[in-house]
Amino acid sequence: ADKGFCFISPVDGSKDVFVHFSAIQNDNFRTLFEGQKVTFSVESGAKGPAAANVIITD
Dump pLDDT digits (tens) for 12-44. 999 999 999 999 998 888 889 999 999 999 999
| The model's pTM | 0.82
The closest of 36, 47, 40, 48 to 22, measured between CA atoms, is 40
Give the torsion sign (CA, 44, 45, 49, 52): negative
Q: Output the pLDDT for position 1.
A: 47
Q: Output the pLDDT for position 30.
A: 84
Domain ranges (residues) in the chain: 5-56
The closest of 28, 25, 6 to 17, measured between CA atoms, is 6
Is the pLDDT at 50 greater than 60, yes or no?
yes
What CATH number has the domain spanning 5-56?
2.40.50.140
pLDDT level of residue 58 (50, 70, 90 thresholds): confident
